[in-house]
Structure formats: C-alpha cells, structure tokens
Amino acid sequence: MKLYLIRHGRQSSKLCNVDVDLSEAGFRQAALVGERLVPAKIDAVYSSDLLRAVQTAQSANIYWNVEHFVRPGLREISFGDMEGMTDAAIAEQYRDFKREQQKMERDLAYPGGECAGDVVARALPVFEEMARSGYRRVAVVTHGGVIRSLIAHFLGMDLAKWRMLAVDLENCSISELDYHEDTGRFYVERLNDYAHLERYPELLRSGWVDEEN
C-alpha cells in the first residue's frame, strides 16, 4: 500500500496555525500536486478537518475524482498559546521555550499545546484505518508537524528530534510511505518531494514574500 503524504497548500494568513482558507498560490500548488499524482492512480484521499487541508484535498481531487475522508486526527500539532500569534511575537514571548526546543533533548509540548508524541498518538489510528481500508494508493493531506512527527516515529527516531526532518517542508510537497501488511510497518520511500513546484519559484517557501505559514 502506498500513502502519499501531502502538506497542505499555502494558506492566506501568516498567523500561527489559524484555521483559514488557501491563498491563490495555495490553490495553484494543490492543482500541481493533483496533476503530479495522476499516474499514481489514487484510490482515496484523506485529509485533516482544518480548512487549508480540506481545500487542498478538494482541489487536488479534481484530478483523481475519488472518495474524500475527513479525519480530525490528522490536524496540525497544537501550538497552544502561540496560535494566532505572529512569528515575531512568538520569538519574543517564547524565546526561552524556543531555546529549549532547539536543543532537541526532550519531546517538549508547546505551551498549552502538544508534543510530537501527542500527534503520533492521535494520528496513528487514522493510518491504521487506512492500512485496513483495502485501498492500495491513498493521498493524505495533512500538516508539516504531523508529517514530520509520524515519519520520525516510523523511523524509530527520538521524537525530540522530529524537527530535524525537512526544516522547510514545502507546501504541497509529497512524502511517500509504503505499508507492508506482512510486517505491519510503514516504510519511508521519500520526503519533501516538490519537483512539481520547481518551475514556479514564487510557489516555494524561499519565494514566499507576502504570505507565510
């Protein structure tokens, strides 16, 4: 079974983890990843219930025309008290926490929010559901924190180091898992593949001027 983990498209707000719609660039990214995965013959698409993930799944699914399942367990890691804040305000008000987080010595929960272990605990049952679904090729539209936390878990990494995986995980990038029923394991085949975006520098995080998430 193949699972194509897709980070949602660029959203319309710079604020931390607010539930808003996609920007124009985000819809473009979603269309590009949908077209890119046509040869994969997607059987179903799962997404987080946050608007940016739902809209990404819907836009990509124009190319696949398959059933879409929405699962709250796939929503982004909770940043707790930081949600709705700007990056500058977070850097100022939570500098001690950010300093400790950068050490990667413990799987720290965001103040009032979640740690990577919490994300794995709620997202893993959704992956187990997909593994039992009978589908062979599933697109999973979710979030950067979810993708990196789960891949760290599947690789047997110390979850304190989940943020070492793809610092700049591109919007609508593809990370691929291969589930083997005989071993019950999810194998990591690729991470942060954004070849479908490379012709459009303005759609990459390095070209992100007016919007950010």
**What is this structure's pTM?**
0.96
What tens digit of pLDDT does each residue of 17-43 get? Answer: 999 999 999 999 999 999 999 999 999
From residue 129, give the alpha-carbon distance in Å to each of 18, 65, 71, 181: 27, 21, 11, 13
**pLDDT at residue number 211:** 44
Measured CA angle at 84 (ends 69, 28), to 5 deg = 50
Q: What is the mean pLDDT of residues 53-57?
A: 98
**pLDDT at residue number 209:** 66
**pLDDT at residue number 135:** 98
Q: What is the largest CA-CA distance in the chain?
A: 49
**pLDDT at residue number 212:** 40
What lies within 8 Å, CB to CB, of 39 at 6+ separation is none
What tens digit of pLDDT does each residue of 61-76 get? Answer: 999 999 999 999 999 9
Q: What is the mean pLDDT of residues 156-172?
A: 95
Q: What is the mean pLDDT of residues 78-91?
A: 97
Q: What distance in Å separates the CA atoms of residue 199 and residue 88, rounded to the nearest whole number? A: 31
**pLDDT at residue number 213:** 39
